[in-house]
Structure 1
Amino acid sequence: MTNDVAIIGVGIHPFGRFEKSAVEMGAEAIHGALADAGLEWQDIQFGFGGSYEVSNPDSVTRLVGLTGITFTNVFNACATSASAIQQTADTIRLGKYDIGIAVGLDKHPRGAFTDDPAKLALPQWYAENGQFVTTKFFGMKANKYLHDHNISEETLAKVAAKNFRNGALNPNAFRRKPISEEDIMASPVLNYPLRQFMFCAPDEGAAAVIMCRGDLAHQYTDKPVFVRASEIRTRRFGAYEVHATSAPLDADSSPTVYAAKAAYEAAGIGPEDVDVAQLQDTDAGAEVIHMAETGLCADGDQEKLLADGATEIGGSMPVNTDGGLIANGEPIGASGLRQMHELVRQLRGEAGERQVPGNPRVGLAQVYGAPGTASATILSL
């Protein structure tokens, strides 16, 4: 029996603000994935689901069908969807089931990612004195990285402007209006060097991906996309970000570095083989940092790459072609599966105005879940 796992269906509920529950959005994403794969819910043998706001995302089954399937809920901060992806793929590789679904859904209130620190086993005074306002940690991290590698603040504006432009081409994005680099630089500084329009926003949405055994894929689609690797890693040393007022910021301490290296090894490829990438851009600085941490470039090369347009849709290293988090916002449970939706559309050649030219064959998705969990997933034809 083959050990390959193929994605045969993807579905997404638009990201933004809606008068419906997160579970309802999840059901719509599932129906979209089923339609894409030409399947019925009764064909799905198991599922993994993730959410930050919904304690039991398995309740989505009451809206799509109570078929008695195995369904496991997962949570790993911003790496929640990646956890659902990994577990779904690995369950199929183990041979227990032939076909399964990963679904992520969330509905966040307006504002920064402050919420209830008790959800991460933290005392309430973290929130009361501002220590759980994650944006300040993003600012500290970006500030040090820019200083260490001689990268200008204007490069952060280029990242955000690029993602807003891409989001304008994405009918499922939250923010669909381009914002110029000048306007981004003129927006209020929230956590230096990060300005208002350099951040994503918590919002609402859902996404789902159906996978099956690789040798069965052509029964369902003429364009299977294979999950070559899905790796999750945590820190090996140092304090976890967000949980402490200081943490090592050296690249070698980042779990993204470990996850990406493991994924490349498992897939048998290198970063030079990646045709299109989806990187965690909770803020513009994060995208810059993750470009290097995933091996797509060396530390400090980002300034020239951005200036030369390398990360644009038509560039040599397209990043966040759907607008990333900056344009889509981040419903935590759905974010990583949104990345899968975009990569599958790109590799199939179905991304419309956002389509990367030259028939891309390899896609990389990376997410970083505070306080210190990262994932790297590699897809290919």
Structure 2
Amino acid sequence: MSTVSIIGAGLSKFGRQPDKTGRGLALDAIASALADAGIAWTDVQVAFGGSDGSGLADTLVSELGLTGIPFTNVKNGCATGGSALVSAVNAIRAGAADIALAVGFDKHPRGAFDPAPQDWGLPVGYGEAGLMVTTQFFGIKIARYMREHGISAPTLAAVAEKAYRNGSLNPNAWRREPMSAETIAAADMVNDPLTRYMFCSPGEGGAAVVVASETAVRRLGGRPVHLRGISAGTRRFGSFEVFGPSIQGAGTPSSVSTSTAAAAFEQAGLGPSDVDVAQLQDTESGAEIMHMAECGFCEHGEQEKLIAAGETEIGGRIPVNTDGGCIANGEPIGASGLRQIHEIVTQLRGEAGARQVPGNPRIGFTHVYGAPGISACTVLSV
């Protein structure tokens, strides 16, 4: 299988930006990614991109340039950006292009997401009963997990405290003020056991990544980061997912994150113990805790000990969400997966400034998760 490398990664600012449209945030991210790669839009041969509610990515060619390239729209919930990247990488691997672009963007209003149940294959009554409110699902899932694996409420606050602390070191983050675990724990309860500041907020932002073949990398030079493994997958029978009315079957629920992460590691010929820095979906602080185990970085129930020991901090054994994750950056649905890639590229290049992981990290991992049970994971290296 041919090597595909990231040659450019770019972000817009994240957070409320009343002077910018969602499309404008996408254009900012693309301009940054192209500049990072040292190429022009006319060099891009194929593109994939998506947004949950800010328009069609392919129409960005109106501003970028009418070069005639194929540009495919992707919509996979919070995994939209990760899925766009998988598509771009596969286009390179298939020989359809030497240079491809993936972009994700969104600009969400204040308040909770309001998905229609019929769009997700669910009866209208499911929404009328309030079960489309995602905070309820996250509260139910982490409460069950905590009971089964001995995780205490202070660990939820500790994860969010780390997110805000890391976000304060990230010039592109939305939430740039540190917040104590005590303040987080004492905040308004949203869905027990998760308080207001343990959740990310629907936000605004764009992210873009340029990938290239070995031939293009040799021609262009630059600072490539290699995609050692990349995988996307959907839920299996027995999973416990957003908008899932029940756990199917018996025994321990299956996890799309586990199977997708395992596939990415197998493709890379590496394992979780090889990773120097990781990005894990943290729609709320409980998600980060569960995804640590689901992606193979520890056993279920070990998270509390690892977090208390500082293992997931920037200077720890396995730094997680060094840019503040979704909690500090917000969740512009289309952009989150590619924001994760941008952070790992920045870390592996040693360009993360105040939040730089020490010791010259060489292997990174990203994991994004979206409703109703889809995940995309990558393993990156320098």
TM bin (shorter chain): over 0.9
Are positions 1:354 and 2:355 aligned together? yes
Distance 1:311 1:371 in 2: 27
Farther-moved stretch of structure 1 (5-14 vs 239-248): 239-248
Match for residue 305 of structure 1?
Answer: 306
Match for residue 165 of structure 2?
Answer: 165
Answer yes or no: is the 8 Å Cα contact 1:11–1:209 preserved in 2: yes
What is the deviation of 1:120?
Answer: 3.0
Match for residue 44 of structure 1?
Answer: 44
Match for residue 283 of structure 1?
Answer: 284
3-state SS of 2:334 partner: helix
Distance 1:360-1:223 versus aligned 2 partners, 3 A rule = same
Alignment of 1:165-244 (within 5 A): 165-238=165-238, 241-244=241-244
Alignment of 1:357-376 (within 5 A): 357-376=358-377
Match for residue 7 of structure 1?
Answer: 6
3-state SS of 1:333 partner: coil
Match for residue 258 of structure 2?
Answer: 257
Answer yes or no: is the 8 Å Cα contact 2:37–2:222 preserved in 1: no
Answer yes or no: is the 8 Å Cα contact 1:51–1:75 preserved in 2: yes
Q: Which amino acid aligns with 2:10?
A: G
Q: What CA deviation, in whole Å up to 9, does each residue of 1:51-80 have, x standing for no partner?
A: 100342111111111111110001111111
TM-score normalised by the chain length of structure 2: 0.96
TM-score normalised by the chain length of structure 1: 0.96
Distance 2:235 2:138 in 1: 17
Are positions 1:75 and 2:75 aligned together? yes
Answer yes or no: is the 8 Å Cα contact 1:150–1:300 preserved in 2: yes
Distance 1:250 1:176 in 2: 42
Answer yes or no: is the 8 Å Cα contact 1:114–1:134 preserved in 2: no
Distance 2:44 2:222 in 1: 19
Answer yes or no: is the 8 Å Cα contact 2:137–2:243 preserved in 1: no
Q: Which runs of 5+ in 1 are unaligned?
A: none
What is the deviation of 1:245?
Answer: 2.8
Q: What CA deviation, in whole Å up to 9, does each residue of 1:66-103 have, x standing for no partner?
A: 11111000111111111101010111011111001000
Distance 2:235 2:121 in 1: 18
Distance 2:291 2:171 in 1: 26
What is the deviation of 1:342?
Answer: 0.3
Farther-moved stretch of structure 1 (29-38 vs 245-254): 245-254
What is the deviation of 1:235?
Answer: 1.9
Distance 1:334-1:172 versus aligned 2 partners, 3 A rule = same
Q: Which amino acid aligns with 1:48?
A: F
Q: How many residues align?
A: 380
Q: What CA deviation, in whole Å up to 9, does each residue of 1:173-230 have, x standing for no partner?
A: 1111111000011001111111111000001110000010024324334421011111
Distance 1:255 1:42 in 2: 37
3-state SS of 2:66 partner: coil
Distance 1:295 1:315 in 2: 17
What is the deviation of 1:124?
Answer: 4.4
Distance 1:307-1:317 versus aligned 2 partners, 3 A rule = same
What is the deviation of 1:333?
Answer: 0.4
Q: How big is the alpha-carbon RMSD for the aligned residues of Structure 1 and Structure 2?
A: 1.6
3-state SS of 2:345 partner: helix
What is the deviation of 1:138?
Answer: 0.4
What is the deviation of 1:41?
Answer: 0.6
Farther-moved stretch of structure 1 (310-319 vs 117-126): 117-126
Distance 1:336 1:251 in 2: 27
Answer yes or no: is the 8 Å Cα contact 2:315–2:357 preserved in 1: yes
Distance 1:14-1:332 versus aligned 2 partners, 3 A rule = same
Are positions 1:92 and 2:84 aligned together? no
Distance 1:132-1:101 versus aligned 2 partners, 3 A rule = same
Q: Which amino acid aligns with 1:374?
A: S
Q: Which amino acid aligns with 1:301?
A: E
Distance 1:153 1:227 in 2: 37
What is the deviation of 1:127?
Answer: 3.4
Distance 1:220 1:360 in 2: 24
Answer yes or no: is the 8 Å Cα contact 1:24–1:63 preserved in 2: no
Distance 2:137 2:278 in 1: 24
Farther-moved stretch of structure 1 (276-285 vs 117-126): 117-126
Alignment of 1:308-323 (within 5 A): 308-323=309-324
Distance 1:124 1:14 in 2: 37
3-state SS of 1:14 partner: coil
3-state SS of 2:13 partner: strand
Farther-moved stretch of structure 1 (20-29 vs 161-170): 20-29
Distance 2:252 2:109 in 1: 32
What is the deviation of 1:239?
Answer: 5.9
Farther-moved stretch of structure 1 (264-273 vs 252-261): 252-261
